Amino acid sequence: MADVTLRNLTKRWGEFVGVNNQSLEIHDHEFLVLLGPSGCGKTTTMRMIAGLEEPTDGEIWIGDRKVNDDLPKDRDVAMVFQNYGLYPHMSILENIAYPLKVRGTPTEEVRPSVE
């Protein structure tokens, strides 16, 4: 994994501003949740990090590499959508832990990582 840094990230569609001058640093192994009302830019921010949406302004860094012009497949980033990525038969903890288990994270590391 690597640090992810957003520097003055902006996304506009004409006059509409979806993300406005956002700067953020997510450290390696840090767990971050974006919360906010519908339309505030959460998904747009994640889509820009993943390379599915092109920023109007600003920079996206993964580790020591500026990735603004990299294709999504070259960023090694994935995203899960809030409506479709949850398993109703699992608890919240189990849903969040599931990707760690799939990656082969040792069992004794999963719960502390999720918490």
Q: Say how many CA atoms lie within 13 Å of 28 toward its Cβ.
A: 6
Model pLDDT, residue 99: 86
pLDDT tens-digit profile of 78-101? Answer: 776 666 667 788 888 888 898 888
Is the pLDDT confidence value at 50 over 90? yes
Backbone angles phi, psi at 112, to 5 degrees: -60, -35
Distance in angstroms (rounded) separating the CA atoms of residues 79 and 44 = 12
The mean pLDDT of the chain is 90
Higher pLDDT, 39 or 62: 62
The pTM for the full model equals 0.69
The pLDDT-based confidence of 27 (bands split at 50, 70, 90) is very high
CB 20 within 8 A of CB 71: no
Residue 11, classified by CB atoms within 10 Å of its CB into exposed (0-12), middle (13-18) or buried (19+), is buried
Distance in angstroms (rounded) separating the CA atoms of residues 80 and 25 = 20
Residue % of the chain over a pLDDT of 70: 95
Distance in angstroms (rounded) separating the CA atoms of residues 58 and 14 = 17
The token pair at 98 is 């599931």
The pLDDT-based confidence of 60 (bands split at 50, 70, 90) is very high
The structural domains of the chain, ordered by start, are 4-73 (3.40.50.300), 80-115 (no CATH)
Model pLDDT, residue 108: 94
CA dihedral 80, 53, 22, 99 (to 10 degrees): 20
Model pLDDT, residue 81: 65
Distance in angstroms (rounded) separating the CA atoms of residues 113 and 30 = 9
